Every structure is written in C-alpha cells, then in structure tokens.
C-alpha cells in the first residue's frame, strides 16, 4: 500500500504567491537571475542565492546556512505563513502544451526503502550525501519529488470536486503558465484520498531520484540518532507531487560528444555501418519516428541511423532502450565513453529544446557529433523499475517542472 500524508505547509501569503514562486534554479541564465534578484524582493531566488545581497560567491555548508537564514527572514517578515492543520494541496498547471493536476503531499521514506516507491535511474552517492546535508542544514524541502501513478478515475473525480472551489492561489507567469493551488483540510476528503492510494501496490519516481534517495538517507540517520524515534516524525517523509501518468510529458535528452575518439569522419561512419543503416539527410533535421531510430548531426549534416535487425539482440527491457543501445553500440565501443556519469567528453541537452541548439553547438566546434532519439515511454519507465533495472543517466527529461516556494515542507 502507498502511504500519502498531509502536512502543514509553509507557503506565501496569497497576494505574494506569484511573486515568490520561481522556476527551477538551473533554468535561469545570469541576466534573468540578476533581474529577478534586483527587482523582486519576494522572489524565492533570494533564498536559493543568499549571498547575492553581499555580492559574494559562496558554496558548501556556508551557503546552506545562509539559505536557512534567508528562509527564516521570509518567515519573520510574514512573506511566508504556515497552515495550522495538516493538509493536502491540489496543484494544477496549464501551459500552451502541458496540463497537469495532482496532489502535493508527504511521501513515505519507508515506502522508498521497501521498493513501493520504485526508481528507474541510478543515483550518485556523493550527490545523495550532498543533498542530505543540504536538507539537514536548511531544515526544509521546497522541490517535490515527482511521483506518478496509473490513472485512477476515482482520484480524478475527487480532485475535480475540489477544483470547483475558489483556489488558494491563481496566477500567471511571463512564460504563459497559469498556476492554481487548492488547500484540502477536510478530514473526510483527506481520508478518502489516503484510502485510494492505500489500494496501490506501487508508485513510480518520474523525476527527483536524488532528492528521494537523500531524503531516505536523512530519515535513516535521524532515526538512528533519535532515542525516542516513533516513525511519525517529519523526517520520515519527504515532499512529493503525486500525478497521474497521463499528465506527464516525457522528452529525450540529446547527447553531444566533444570528439570522434581519433577517428576520421569517414572511418567513424564505417564503424557505425556495422550496426546501423545510415542515410545522409543533408540539412533535413530528421526526427526519429519509432524506436531504434536515431538522429545524428556530424560535420554540418544530419544523418538517420536505423538499427539493423541483425543487431537487435535483446535480453530484457533495458537492452531494448534506445539510450542503452546508443551506449552499447556507439558511445562505449566506438567513441570510448565508458562512464556516462563522469566522462567529461559527453554532455546532454533536453530534447525539449530546438534541434538547432544541438546543431549550433556542433557547428561551433565545441562538440564533434550529436545524437537524438525517440523519448522513453511511461511503460518503459515502469518496466525498468519493476525489473529492478536502471536506465543510463539522462534518459528522460520529464515535465511538469514545478515552481519553487509555493509549498514548503519543514523537517
């Protein structure tokens, strides 16, 4: 059974919600970041970039402590308030090409330990430890783990009923997004939602594997250091956004490689010919239309790569995955990239970005070749997780990406 728990969110006052909420930190370029920090005193970016007021660059534990200080200032100034009762929060976002509606709540670290919350990507131990220390120092979590479940009409019905009420928040952004949030504090509705999730055997991480793993590490450490541990403490849970599968939008990550590992262009194409049927598309930015087809940009021209039937030797779901095929047939044996997590010769850009971004980076000489593929499907994600396997890094870029600062979970 899946456990979903209400919590007392720390959140912006209604009138300031649109001003506080910020996009994921990494989405801002330097100019955008400066503009937000200079002209919006309520932006959550002031908390995430606390040294800006000192015009100084800091990192590590010193930065973590300053983040905590800025957060406490927002609370002291009543920019943030905290709900008196544990609640669920129904959150809806609409954009030109995305609609999502789900429940912000606390997920169970025990469910993660027991593989009820299932993962499909590997995590890096050093990043897990870093994130754990970050949350431990700042004392709060504002970026929900994205958890997805099979579409359930009964859950959708209760959400539709809740959304007939006036929302707690409703605001639009310059990115043409509209955000809505409803507070659910009725105990009968909370219990009903919990009962629906209790009938599920498993739920899947769509995005946030490191946040999930670090939250589990923190809960384990905190329990070991607490002689009076009961299992009900806030550290036993972590902030999550529970969303039906049909509301996810999954993109690929394109791969960019700095060099051809000593091969000439002609020799590289000959090596590819062993496993792929190659077609030169010239300046036609070919888009793969089915699995096991790949896009390649090399020396000013696009190519389509079709995996030969003689090379389709699959043993499990992972071996059928296009990102794994690319690794096993091209990146490792030909380009010499064995460690996808540490090799600095490979970079990734989200497939949501225009293909001209990949073309520009290769044309500039910064990279020698770029690859694209079909996005992974939700069924592949679930099969990988169910089989206890993990995808290569950067196999999926998944939306929605929620705004930071709207519902904060304190430890």
Range in 103-112, 198-207, 234-243, 337-346 the model is least confident about: 337-346
Instruction: Tell me: pLDDT of 39 over 80.
Output: yes
As to burial, measured by CB atoms within 10 angstroms (0-12 exposed, 13-18 middle, 19+ buried), residue 315 is exposed
**Residue 191: pLDDT band by 50, 70, 90 thresholds?**
very high
Per-residue pLDDT at 352: 86
Task: Please give the average per-residue pLDDT across 158-180, as a whole number.
Answer: 96
Distance CA 14, CA 168 (A): 7
Per-residue pLDDT at 127: 86
**Residue 403: pLDDT band by 50, 70, 90 thresholds?**
very high
Task: With H, G, I as helix, E, B as strand and everything else as coil, classify residue 86.
Answer: coil
Instruction: Tell me: pLDDT of 332 over 90.
Output: yes
347 close to 256: Cβ distance less than 8 angstroms? yes
pLDDT in tens, 195-249: 999 999 999 999 999 999 999 999 999 999 999 999 889 999 999 999 999 999 9
Rg of the chain, C-alpha, whole Å: 23
Strand extents, DSSP E, 50-98? 80-82, 88-94
Domains and CATH numbers, the chain: 87-250+399-410 (3.90.1530.10), 253-374 (3.30.1760)
Run of H or E residues at 178: strand 178-184
Instruction: Tell me: pLDDT of 54 over 80.
Output: no
**pTM of the model as a whole:** 0.91
**Residue 55: pLDDT band by 50, 70, 90 thresholds?**
confident
**Residue 146: pLDDT band by 50, 70, 90 thresholds?**
very high
**Residue 123: pLDDT band by 50, 70, 90 thresholds?**
confident
pLDDT in tens, 249-297: 999 999 999 999 999 999 999 999 999 999 999 999 988 989 999 999 9
135 close to 411: Cβ distance less than 8 angstroms? yes
């Amino acid at each position: 059974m899946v456990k979903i728990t209400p919590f007392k969110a720390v959140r912006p006052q209604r009138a300031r919600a649109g001003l506080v909420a910020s996009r994921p930190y990494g989405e801002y370029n330097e100019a955008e970041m400066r503009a937000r920090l200079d002209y919006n005193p309520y932006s959550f970016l002031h908390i995430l970039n606390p040294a800006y007021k000192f015009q100084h660059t800091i990192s590590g534990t010193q930065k973590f402590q300053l983040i905590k200080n800025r957060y406490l200032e927002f609370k002291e100034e009543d920019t943030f308030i905290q709900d008196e009762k544990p609640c669920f929060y129904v959150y809806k976002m609409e954009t030109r090409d995305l609609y999502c509606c789900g429940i912000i709540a606390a997920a169970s670290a025990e469910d993660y330990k027991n593989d009820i919350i299932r993962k499909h990507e590997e995590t890096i131990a050093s990043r897990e430890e870093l994130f754990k220390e970050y949350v431990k120092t700042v004392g709060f979590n504002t970026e929900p783990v994205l958890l997805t479940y099979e579409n359930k009409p009964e859950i959708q019905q209760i959400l539709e009923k809740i959304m007939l009420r006036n929302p707690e928040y409703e605001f639009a952004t310059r990115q043409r997004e509209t955000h809505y949030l409803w507070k659910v504090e009725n105990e009968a509705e909370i219990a009903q939602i919990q009962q629906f999730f209790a009938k599920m055997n498993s739920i899947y991480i769509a995005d946030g594997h490191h946040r999930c793993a670090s939250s589990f590490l923190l809960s384990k450490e905190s329990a070991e250091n607490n002689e009076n541990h009961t299992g009900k403490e806030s550290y036993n849970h972590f902030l999550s956004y529970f969303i039906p599968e049909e509301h996810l939008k999954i993109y690929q990550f394109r791969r960019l490689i700095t060099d051809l590992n000593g091969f000439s262009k002609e020799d590289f194409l000959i090596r590819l010919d062993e496993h792929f049927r190659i077609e030169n598309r010239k300046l036609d930015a070919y888009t793969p239309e089915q699995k096991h087809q790949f896009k390649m940009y090399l020396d000013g021209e696009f190519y389509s790569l079709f995996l030969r039937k003689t090379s389709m030797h699959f043993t499990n779901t992972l071996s059928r995955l296009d990102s794994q095929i690319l690794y096993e047939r091209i990146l490792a044996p030909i380009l010499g990239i064995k460690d996808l997590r540490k090799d600095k010769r490979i970079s990734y850009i989200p497939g949501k970005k225009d293909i001209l971004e990949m073309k520009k980076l290769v044309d500039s000489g910064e990279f020698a070749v770029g690859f694209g593929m079909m996005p992974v499907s939700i069924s592949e994600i679930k099969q990988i997780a169910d089989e206890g396997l993990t995808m290569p890094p950067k196999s999926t870029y998944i939306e929605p990406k929620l705004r930071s600062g709207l519902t904060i979970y304190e430890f």
